[in-house]
Amino acid sequence: MKLTILGIIVMSVTTFALQTAGPAQTPAETTKVRGCLLGNGSTENPWSLKGVVLPAPPSAAPAGPGGGRGDGAGRGAGGGRGRGDAAGQGGAPADGRGGNGGRGAAPPAPTPAPTQPPVDLRLTGIDMSPWRNMFVEVEGALGPRPASGLREFQVSFAHSAYGDCR
C-alpha cells in the first residue's frame, strides 16, 4: 500500500515537472499592414508587399499623475481670505495653509512616435494569388530583421483594401 501511494506521488510530481519545464511558447504578436502585392509566389519571384509602413514600436506607459496633500493640507488654490503681507503682495495666509497644496502636476503629453520609412516585406504562410497586383491588408507576424534581403512576414489573414498601387 505504501509503495502504491509513493508511486502515485512520484508520477504526479514527474508529470507536473515535465509540464512546467517544457519550452515556453509565447504567441507572436500580430500586426496589420497594407501595401501593394507583387510577385507570383515562386522561389525566383516570391510574394512581396511593397511600400509598407510598419507600426511604431510600443512606447513606455505614461506615468500616473503626481500629487498628494502637500503642505496645503489638501485645500484648493487661492490661499485663504485675501490677507496680504506687509507689502500688499498677497502672501500665504497666517494659519499656514499655503495655496495650491494637494494638486499634482499634470502629466507631460506623450511625444508622438517618429514615422518609419516604407519598407518591402516578403510574404509567407498563405497563397496570395487572389490578390495579385492589388492593394491588400495582411495580418500576421513580423519576422526578425535580416542582414540582407527582404524582411519576412508570416501571413495569417489577407483581404483586399482600398488604395493605389503605383
Model's pTM, two decimal places? 0.52
**Chain segment 34-43, per-residue pLDDT in tens:** 999 999 989 8
Residue 56 in contact with residue 31, Cβ under 8 Å? no
Q: Band of the pLDDT at 25, cuts 50, 70, 90? A: very low
Sorted by sequence, the CB contacts under 8 Å of residue 115 that are 6+ apart come out as 53, 56
CB 95 within 8 A of CB 80: yes
Tell me: the pLDDT tens digits for 54-109?
887 766 555 555 555 555 555 555 555 555 555 555 555 555 555 555 566 677 77
Which residue ranges form the domains of the chain, and what is each CATH number? Answer: 26-56+113-166 (2.40.50)
User: What pLDDT shows up at residue 22?
Assistant: 46
Residue 128 has what pLDDT?
93
Comparing 38-42, 70-74, 129-133, 148-152, the range with the smallest average pLDDT is: 70-74
